[in-house]
Chain A
């Protein structure tokens, strides 16, 4: 059974700092890896999807990488802003199926 772990559980940084969020998974047969953002009381917003054949994806100040051999994905946020404050979730599919297995998330606070 795939298990996904996100470290740290919570993170507080000053505005402007570059930061890395970590996601590790137990089954290296991960197929797609997706990063989401969740604001308090809201749904999940898809940020980046790394497909099976890819190693990384970029969108604006966000960059996500996937290393299947080590069972890890990272989400890099450049020049963090208070508006980046949210919970970030990673989730992966295994073996070509579509069911996502989620980590428990990293709660990020960017302070002025």
Chain B
């Protein structure tokens, strides 16, 4: 029972490089999310996708793009990495709509931009 799987787990980038963080869930959830976690600031929402084919900005979207490839997969792309994007990135998924909306998280991607 994999749940939410993120790849890679660790990554070091040079300033200006690009990369894509991958996320896949096997729980048939409609909604998927990307958060970043920084010391003292908690988790902040970068982008989310309420359903396949839709994406929306969260609290801190600048410098990122996302793609909801299908119902299972939601990727996060850094086009030109900056040191300020050094963080731990978490992907999450949940059932959309009202009612039970329990969110499940992946194990995180630890990204360092030098």
Contacts and interface: CB of A to CB of B under 8 A. Distances in A.
A34 B43 CA distance: 14
B74 to A, nearest CB: 13
A104 B42 contact: yes
A93 B104 contact: no
A104 B103 contact: no
B104 A100 contact: no
B103 A46 contact: yes
A36 B37 CA distance: 14
B90 to A, nearest CB: 6
A61 interface: no
Contacts, number: 63
B90 A44 contact: yes
Interface residues of B, number: 28
Contact of A42 (B42, B101, B107): B107
A interface residue count range (under 10 / 10 to 19 / 20 to 34 / 35 or more): 20 to 34
Contact of A43 (B58, B101, B108): B108
Contacts of A45: 105
B53 interface: no
Given A44-B90, A93-B101, A100 B45 contact: yes
Given A43-B106, A45-B105, A104-B41, 7 more contacts: A43-B108, A46-B102, A46-B105, A51-B99, A98-B50, A98-B103, A104-B40
